[in-house]
Structure 1
């Protein structure tokens, strides 16, 4: 019984993730830089937590340092990201969105919200709240970051 539920959950989660990625890619296609859902997550994190470090981004997004360094270099080269050395520890660098980066992050958040709204269209508000509560419980989270 548990195995069949696990298998069904795996298939449903895969379908949902593929659908969300597809809708987000469509919505992001008009941006001048080719960005995917993980990039929008990165920009969104920096919009919410300006001054974060690359290490904090790695922890949040589950990427390794080499991947993050390449992505940050790309975003900085595109003019979406700025860096500032820590005043007390020059080895630490704080990351900030440029005004252009803030615009892209805002657009990405809109696309993300539209994709999730499309996914949840068949659920009423109570069912959406139940779904969120169950997913947070499964993820071991008590609050939304």
Structure 2
């Protein structure tokens, strides 16, 4: 079985990406975990931009995430906003500076240059295969999928084209449908 070889490739690729991210972060005064948190917040929807969701997504403790978010807030990269319906819930929003950091750093240059050298067919095959490996790992470890809203079994499209979350029954925008959600449940086709 090629499991060891696959591990070796994925581990080496991850290390190269982390090294590039670390360089970018140092230039901006940030640690890799802080860039990862910013990246997540740039991609998640309004149901998933909470400290608990950041901890779930990154697989970190609440304490580590609390420290990370404190640095990001004091640096002016995120802002906290109380939930309108539940005062116990805090939402985290990127500032203009936070969004700029993400767009400058993610994806890292090393990955951009490597992927741009591949054919479109190769990029599509790699994307599909990595997605399948990720889904298998998430399923085997009973982890949340954090998939995009439009691929969720709760995502509903009305006859008039409007979108709605079947879990919260709230209306969704086109942009909402592209964002990732911690409540994501894959459809039978996406598993």
Note whether the superposition's TM-score is higher than 0.5.
Answer: yes
Q: Hey, what's the Cα distance between the residues in 2 that align with 1:48 and 1:25?
A: 20
1:139 aligns with 134
Structure 2: gaps of 5 or more residues: 137-144, 149-179, 181-191
1:9 aligns with 6
Structure 1: gaps of 5 or more residues: none
1:66 to 2:55 alignment: no
Residue 30 of structure 1, CA deviation: 2.5
Question: For the Cα contact (< 8 Å) 2:25–2:35, is it kept in 1?
Answer: no
Q: Hey, what's the Cα distance between the residues in 2 that align with 1:99 and 1:87?
A: 22
Question: In structure 2, do the counterparts of structure 1 residues 108 and 50 end up closer, same or farther at CA, with 3 Å as the change threshold?
Answer: farther
Residue 50 of structure 1, CA deviation: 6.1
Question: For the Cα contact (< 8 Å) 2:17–2:108, is it kept in 1?
Answer: no
1:95 aligns with 92
Residue 39 of structure 1, CA deviation: 2.5
Q: CA RMSD in A?
A: 2.3
After superposing the two structures, state which structure 1 stretch, 45-54 or 63-72, moved more: 45-54
Alignment: residue pair count: 138
Question: For the Cα contact (< 8 Å) 2:77–2:96, is it kept in 1?
Answer: yes
Q: Hey, what's the Cα distance between the residues in 1 that align with 2:105 and 2:45?
A: 17
Question: For the Cα contact (< 8 Å) 1:24–1:115, is it kept in 2?
Answer: no
2:15 aligns with 18
Relative contact order (alpha carbons < 8 A, sep ≥ 6): 1 or 2 greater? 1
1:129 aligns with 124
* TM-score normalised to structure 2 length: 0.63
* TM-score normalised to structure 1 length: 0.80
